[in-house]
Chain A
Amino acid sequence: MSATIAATEERAALERIAEGVARLASSAPEVDLPADERVRRAKRVFIEKTDARVALDLESCLHCGMCAEACHFYEGTGQGRYAPIHKLKLLRKVYRRELGPFRLIQRLLTRDLTVAELEQWQELVFDSCTECGRCDMICPVGVHLSRGVHITRQALTAAGLAPAELRALDAEQKSTGAILGAGVEKLRSALEELRSQGIEAPLDKPQAEYLLLTTASDLLIYHRSLAATARIMNHLGLDWTFASSGFEAANSGAVSGDETAQRQATQRVVDAALACGAKFVVVPECGHAYPALRWEGPNQVGRAFPFQVLAISELIGRELESGRLRLKPLGPGKRVTFHDPCKFGRKGGVIDEPRKALAALEVDLRETESKGTTNYCCGGGGGVFFIGRAAPLRNAAFNIKRKQFDATGADSVVTSCGSCRMNFAVGAQRNNWNVPVESLVELVADGLAAPGPATDRGSVV
């Protein structure tokens, strides 16, 4: 299939996804709860999630407002209510009244949490926050703001006040294990398509060293990324498989704050990995899936994993470093910039590895002013892509990103997250921006050189 035809098919698939996303809210389960029950549930989550570390955050804020200056939603709109610290106000209120050292005084001086406040905060912690964590990097006293936002999301979700689109995704993943209709049949047909291209794509091998996950964006839109990932695994000579019982990397609960959905999605992957005896679980180009499994997964299932979690870009970087993977240069004439997906980079720690891949491909990498730990988010992470009414906010954030890209003079943007690509594609269409956004794994697959020598893989990671 030519690249042009594939790109056209991807655009058509993205439009179908966009239409499906627009219908998400109507399929969301209703949550019919009395106001006092919503407040009770939210307070319970606030209290449960506030440990000594969170308490120290809440005791230390200066109200300097610097966090707002790192937030793309504040920068893009000038609206003071989007200041990250303002988003933590309900968490702080419950902490002070219920747990804080001066709670007896606070109960006399302040009013209790209300359902109206919870409803008001829905826009602040869902629509106008991608939990990208850029604000975490600027706070002069080191308040972990994105953690506080996530706790507030969890509280609102427990109160039945997550946006309808995210509730719909949670309900689907709880019921089928998949999102956006990308279930096991989609996986099977996608793998058949790979096999028809001569790409080995094992499914449900009884034993495998590597369990490869995929995600709805790859199954529904970015087939080339799926193919590229499989080709890289094959090229490296790895013993790998997909598992029909646990293939979806996306974790809607990790985004919305629905811990039941999060735990179930994590458990599916863990069970699949244990069933095939995997030593490594490889997360595809799906940003939030990485911290959801790598960093939060063990806490969700209550024990350390007997396997390692690797991002595909992390695997590529490490294989390059070990010399087992060699790439052909794509040429210095290819001028690219790299977008660090926040969840892989700032929230995940996978920052150097994609750059090692780009260096091996010998492209002309032109970094944006904010990169790595200070990178601007695409604007659609943290589920914001799915929230219909957040479109103007996403666009404001996209335009900050676009300006950063344009300033590099690069001919294309490379990234390693399907969600970022979807958000950029929508933003590009809306703003008539014609810079292509490419997948890192696709570039790496294009540059695969002669197979590396067969070596002991025990020391890879």
Chain B
Amino acid sequence: MTLFDFARGPGMFWATTIMVIGIVWRLAGAVLLARHKDRSTPRGDNRVAAGLRAVLMRSVPPHELEKHITFQHLTGYAWHIGWFVTFLFFVPHMPFIESILGFGWPGLPNQAIVMLAAITLAILLLLLVRRIVHPVLKVISDFDDYVSTLLACAPLVTGIVAFAHLFPSHHETMIGLHILSVEALMVWLPFGKIFHCVTGLPLRFQIGAAFARRGVKA
């Protein structure tokens, strides 16, 4: 079995299995803990609406807060959008997407996607350097932060190398490495901070509803 075959076959199967079981295990381990009862009388009864509002509005904080985090916000949005556009609109990815969903959509020009991937990679590396030197980030960062960033970079690096045919005699192996890099990200998802893709929106709802109980828009 070649590396390519392993990546497309057992590798993908086990990565998917570990990811799904891991997500369920981690989520259940948190949300199935007991919940402390709050006996205070809530102010108003708009907690669902307030939770949904927080889900949306946390993306656009008030100006007086936003002006301190503009760089993080712009770079954060930029690399997430770049990463997912690269994944979802790169023409060579389409057969893979169609094999899962049963349908596909038109891709974007390859050169544009490669350029986008390179920009996304550059932003991720910039954020990695920032994490090392920033007075707050260097204090709060741990193994997970660096591994997660590198694993987010890996598919971009391997994808660009594969597309550019930098190793023409090992092209299939490079594609295999590219798939494996995605699988590594999938395996890491339940264990690292990338898990926020599962809990982020529910947590926004939770804090919006909690503050609404007190009559505060959060």
Within 8 A of B (CB), among A279-305: 291, 294-299, 302-305
Given A61-B193, A137-B61, verify A56-B29 contact (CB < 8 Å).
no
| A83: nearest chain-B partner, CB-CB | B136
Contact B199 A59 (CB under 8 A): yes
25 sampled A-B residue pairs with Cβ under 8 A = A55-B30, A56-B199, A56-B202, A57-B203, A58-B30, A59-B26, A60-B196, A69-B68, A70-B65, A80-B135, A81-B139, A89-B140, A99-B33, A102-B26, A137-B65, A140-B59, A141-B58, A141-B200, A141-B203, A142-B200, A143-B203, A298-B40, A299-B38, A304-B40, A349-B214
CB distance from B65 to the nearest CB of A (A): 5
Whether B206 is near chain A, meaning CB under 8 Å from some CB there, is yes
Tell whether B54 is near chain A: CB-to-CB under 8 Å.
yes
List, in ascending order, chain B residues with CB within 8 A of A102's CB.
26, 29, 191
Interface residues of B (CB under 8 A from A): 25-41, 43, 54, 58-59, 61-62, 64-65, 68-69, 72, 76, 134-142, 144-145, 191, 193, 195-196, 199-200, 202-208, 210-211, 214-218
Alpha-carbon gap, A139 to B193, bound state (A): 15
Verify A55–B33 contact, CB threshold 8 A. yes
Q: Contact mask A47-61 → B, CB, 8 Å, 1/0?
A: 000111101111111
Chain A neighbourhood of B145, CB < 8 A: 63
Taken residue by residue from 82 to 102, chain A's Cβ proximity to chain B (1 for < 8 Å, 0 otherwise) reads as: 010110010000000001111
- B210's contact among A55, A74, A144, A369, by CB below 8 Å, is which? A144
Which listed residue (A62, A142, A294) contacts B40, Cβ 8 A?
Answer: A294
Let me know if A351 is at the binding interface, CB within 8 A: yes
B29: nearest chain-A partner, CB-CB: A101
Query: How long is the Cα–Cα vector from A80 to B130 in the complex, in angstroms?
Result: 13
User: What residue in chain A is nearest B215 (Cβ atoms)?
Assistant: A349
| Contact present for A52 and B33 (CB under 8 Å) | yes
Known contacts being A66-B72, A102-B26, is A295 close to B214, with CB within 8 Å?
A: yes
Chain B interface mostly helix, strand, loop or mixed? helix
Question: A142 to B211, alpha carbons, bound, how many Å?
Answer: 11
Choose among B30, B31, B69, B207 the residue that contacts A66 (Cβ–Cβ < 8 A).
B69
Answer whether residue A136 sits at the interface, using C-beta atoms and an 8 A cutoff: yes
Q: Write the nearest CB–CB distance from B148 to chain A, whole angstroms.
A: 9
Contact status B206-A65, CB under 8 Å: no
| Other-chain contact of B30, A101, A143, A305, A348 (Cβ < 8 Å) | A101
Q: Does A322 contact B (CB under 8 A)?
A: no
Nearest-Cβ distance from residue B130 to partner chain A, whole angstroms:
9
For the complex, give the distance between the alpha carbons of A57 and B202 in Å: 10
A-to-B contact residues, CB < 8 Å: 50-53, 55-66, 68-70, 74-75, 78-81, 83, 85-86, 89, 99-102, 136-144, 291, 294-299, 302-305, 308, 345-351, 369-370, 373-374
Partner of B35, one of A51, A60, A68, A291: A51
Contact partners of A303 in chain B: CB under 8 A: 39
Q: Is the CB of B207 within 8 A of A144?
A: yes
How many Å lie between the Cα of A70 and that of B64 in the bound state? Answer: 9
Contact B35 A137 (CB under 8 A): no
CB of A97 to closest CB in B, whole Å: 13
**In the complex, are the beta carbons of B39 and A302 less than 8 A apart?**
yes
Known: A57-B203, A349-B214, A349-B216. A295 touches B33 (CB 8 A): no
Bound-state CA distance A99–B26 (Å) is: 11
Determine if B30 and A137 form an interchain contact, defined as CB atoms under 8 angstroms apart: no
